[in-house]
Amino acid sequence: MADHIFLKGTAMTTAFDPVDLAGTRLSNRIAMAPMTRSRADAVRRTPTALVAEYYAQRASAGLIISEGVHPVAEGQGYPFTPGIHSREQIAAWREVTDAVHERGGRIFAQLMHSGRIGHPDLLDGDLHPVGPSAVAPAGQAFTPEGPKDYVTPRVLTGDEVRETVAGFAAAARHAVEAGFDGVEIHGANGYLIQQFLATGSNHRTDEWGGPVENRIRFAVEVVRAVAAEIGPERTGLRISPANTLNDIAETETEELYTALLDAIEPVGIAYLHVLETAPELRPLVLDLRKRFAGTFILNPSTEGPTSSESLALIEDGTTDLVAFGRLFIANPDLPARLRADGPYNEPDGATMYGGDHRGYVDYPAL
């Protein structure tokens, strides 16, 4: 159960205090946000020994949320990204989770189905990017041959939507088998779940589209299926209300996300992770915080990378944990640096995606 917001008469909670995440004890309230780094094996889509070293270096985070992991083969949206739908992938991820646990860390796998964000060149055989409707996103996909225009997705039939829900549940089971402490369902950033939520990408007239209660159905069914498979205490959800990333056009944002929370609340999942895309969304964030009974994780809107100033959001009760992204790329020992208020290494943008150990595991600790 989350700390209740704005409690009076209690000692102030800080970012460096432990927290109980639905039965999993976290050593602090600093989360490593999920970040694609594109270092997986290109053929097998498996994490490598370098990936294990990268996450182990960052095990002092209270909670590590992994890079996006495709739950099914057609869910891959970027080159050199890992899956968790084959026995080989499960075994490779076990090397990663063992390395994190040996350092005392906790790690959840982020299950990310990219939907229409991708390209046939990234997929095996005759697989094709899928979506709720035949609406191609603006922009270009990253492919092994360079940028290419996004294609029109193949529309999922009703039966295929249900199969995709089952694919998320199977991937969650695989993640637990691979040693993850739980999974985060990626419902943000313009990928498949948000594509169902948004009217710009969801033009369906069946039970999966149209009014708000239908557009949230896919997200709700995925949450229910995953929680039933591995337990709600091992299940988290990430959302990004009003996010326009990946050509998303949302309407009725407040109604949409309050309805989504009301629908999943009875499931009792471990946490809700909100990516705040603009400062003016703070009132909605606070409302979602009050509506959600579990642990609340906030990736706050800031002018630059999330900094130590955001830790005050834990102290004033706005959130239970703060998620840091770019700072964790360049600072493997970020909690120690936040406690000391720096100094901080600067991330190298040229090595952010793909490549070798440079800009990945060679950033120095204090």
List alpha helices for 231-295, DSSP H: 253-264, 282-291
Note the pLDDT tens digit of each residue in 271-294: 999 999 999 999 999 999 999 999
pLDDT value of position 332: 98
Can you tell me which residue has the tokens 């097998």? 44
User: Does 9 have pLDDT greater than 60?
Assistant: no
pLDDT value of position 11: 65
pLDDT value of position 284: 97
**Residue 297 belongs to a domain:** yes
**Residue 62 belongs to a domain:** yes
- d(CA 97, CA 176) in angstroms, rounded, equals 10
- d(CA 182, CA 230) in angstroms, rounded, equals 8
Nearest C-alpha neighbor of 245 from the set 183, 315, 187: 187
Amino acid identity for residue 116 in this structure: R
- d(CA 156, CA 75) in angstroms, rounded, equals 12
- The active-site residue, picked from 54, 55, 150, 191, is 191
And the tokens for 85? 């739908």
**Residue 74 belongs to a domain:** yes
And the tokens for 220? 């709700």
User: Does 5 have pLDDT greater than 80?
Assistant: no
Percentage of the chain exceeding pLDDT 70: 97
pLDDT value of position 304: 78
Band of the pLDDT at 303, cuts 50, 70, 90? confident
Q: Are 291 and 302 in contact (CB under 8 A)?
A: no
Q: Are 58 and 331 in contact (CB under 8 A)?
A: no
**Residue 266 belongs to a domain:** yes
Q: Estimate to the nearest angstrom the gap between the alpha carbon of 237 and the chain centroid.
A: 7
Q: Are 325 and 240 in contact (CB under 8 A)?
A: no
Nearest C-alpha neighbor of 255 from the set 199, 202, 301, 200: 199
**Residue 358 belongs to a domain:** no
The mean pLDDT value for 251-275 works out to 98
Amino acid identity for residue 123 in this structure: L
User: Does 3 have pLDDT greater than 50?
Assistant: no
pLDDT value of position 58: 98
**Residue 269 belongs to a domain:** yes
pLDDT value of position 279: 95
User: Does 191 have pLDDT greater than 50?
Assistant: yes
**Residue 346 belongs to a domain:** no
Q: How many domains does the chain have?
A: 1
The mean pLDDT value for 197-220 works out to 98
Q: Are 155 and 134 in contact (CB under 8 A)?
A: yes
- d(CA 366, CA 344) in angstroms, rounded, equals 9
Domain of residue 258: give its range. Answer: 19-340
CATH assignment of the domain containing 226: 3.20.20.70
Q: What is the mean pLDDT of the chain?
A: 95
The question of whether 191 is a catalytic residue gets the answer: yes
Amino acid identity for residue 94 in this structure: R
pLDDT value of position 2: 46
Helix axis angle for 49-57 and 87-102, nearest 10°, is: 30
Note the pLDDT tens digit of each residue in 53-102: 999 999 999 999 999 999 999 999 999 999 999 999 999 999 999 999 99
Beta bridge partners of 68: 110
Count other C-beta atoms under 10 Å from residue 149's C-beta: 11
**Residue 236 belongs to a domain:** yes
